[in-house]
Chains A and B, each alone.
Chain A
């Protein structure tokens, strides 16, 4: 996925402008930015859920606006923050929604579809819950099921908008580990998050929106300006490269320094 001089926003309000980004395949890219920085707006535009103000989003060189909904769905899958409905579906039925772009008019699953669902459930470690109601899953499991649905969709690009924001620490790590495995199978995975530490545990590739900025800076952990780009993201936090996470600018003095 690439963007060509992309500007996103609402009507007269430009949120991010002149973006020329390229999403790498085979790895996780993490999009970070303060609340209101335009992360979600960018992701909505990249996934075709909101029109770009100008410029293009290209998938394999094709503008996404020229793709039919089903064609787009075969190339790009999506996972969101919100806990969704569908509690009355079995887990495998939820995952089977990922096969909709491939299945027939009435949604009957072929043998390939069924295998894709099984593989996806295996990949996220939910095979044993395949016949359970979605409503019986924990929040972490539910998000894994949503990711399994995206895996079953078998797209080159997977976009996730803060997929771990309501999960506990261990569920966050598990999801990140899962995403890195998905990416290593040759997919491009783009996720927005505030959970920098878990994300940087599995990737070194960052798209950062500087605080009050309108650009997106693509950096790698090995780049010399990595720390300064990371520092530009939040107004009152400083990036600590030692722990791969942010610390408050002010030291409140509760912790003894181990020197």
Chain B
């Protein structure tokens, strides 16, 4: 019974990924006929400007959306299990904002991002910011036992990072600020086709590493002491999850800006759809759902067509907030909350 539900959910998600993938390729500011899109993809004869739009804009954007959605979703699931808090997520806990602060330091204080070295510096800044915030949260979590309090500390850390970013903005050049503000709106269009292999390698390898934590994450569902009694090396697992979730958030944030809500809601969608907290099923499910949701957000963001592109962060809350409110209202009847 449960198995058929899983198979149905996997089929549905796969179909949805294919659907949004196609949707993103066929929709956009330029009105390109469908057969020309196909011709561009297969290397046929078409207008160079159309080929450029399909191959250099639409294709990398949808690939980035799928990869980023999966990466943020995995980071969210790891944080939720690590903090035993269903409302944890990279954006709520201030991890994305920490990464943003790192990026702001590189972009604004160090003066812009030119070339591959600049991109690397942005990535390093994002990673440092993200890991710093998670480490601070874990430090707090060991003294402040209440999950709600840790969540509030995360939100506060986010505000603190925001204020540091605002200060940096204040002292920066107009151009630097413009770049930073554009980046901060969140967009899956920032990865060029030539950067896609690097981006895919980073997100996919980190996602693969996350699969190694399936077993200890299941034990962590019972709390730290039970996990220890099941033979989990708690310090190693905690640091590992901290690093992987921080790195996943940092990679996505460095290229796409701070994307809100995906990391928070996707694990919930997966738990509800697959009816389980068992990470052996839940983690792969979250990867698939994350890709689907990321792709969907990208599709919605290009859906105005010739009217322009909506910022991703204008879309994620519209999808995310109703789901969170639904979950909070229904929590008494949702198995994994009780």
What is the interface of chain A, defined by CB distance below 8 A to chain B? 47-49, 68-74, 76-78, 80, 82, 84-90, 93-94, 97-98, 100-101, 103, 105-107, 133-136, 146, 153
Q: Is B6 an interface residue (CB 8 A)?
A: no
Contacts of A89 in B (CB 8 A): 218, 221, 276-278
Contacts of B225 in A (CB 8 A): 49, 78, 80
Known A78-B226, A87-B335, A136-B335: A107·B231 in contact at CB below 8 Å: no
What is the interface of chain B, defined by CB distance below 8 A to chain A? 84, 211-212, 214-215, 218-219, 221-223, 225-226, 228-234, 271, 275-278, 280, 335-338
Smallest beta-carbon distance A104→chain B, Å: 9
Smallest beta-carbon distance A187→chain B, Å: 15
Contacts of B218 in A (CB 8 A): 89, 93, 97, 100, 107
A85 touches B221 (CB 8 A): yes
Which 9 A-B residue pairings sit nearest by Cβ, starting from the closest?
Answer: A88-B336, A88-B277, A73-B231, A107-B215, A70-B231, A78-B229, A135-B338, A101-B231, A86-B221
B230 touches A101 (CB 8 A): yes
Known A97-B222, A100-B219: A86·B233 in contact at CB below 8 Å: no
Contacts of B84 in A (CB 8 A): 85
Binding site of B, secondary structure by majority: helix, strand, loop or mixed?
helix
Residue of A nearest to B231 (CB): A73
Contacts of A107 in B (CB 8 A): 214-215, 218, 280
A135 touches B335 (CB 8 A): yes
Rounded to whole angstroms, the CA-CA distance of A72 and B225 in the bound complex is 13
Known A78-B229, A100-B231, A135-B335: A88·B271 in contact at CB below 8 Å: yes
Contacts of A69 in B (CB 8 A): 228, 231-234
Residue of A nearest to B332 (CB): A135
A84 touches B226 (CB 8 A): yes
Contacts of A84 in B (CB 8 A): 221-223, 226
Contacts of B338 in A (CB 8 A): 87, 135
B229 touches A76 (CB 8 A): yes
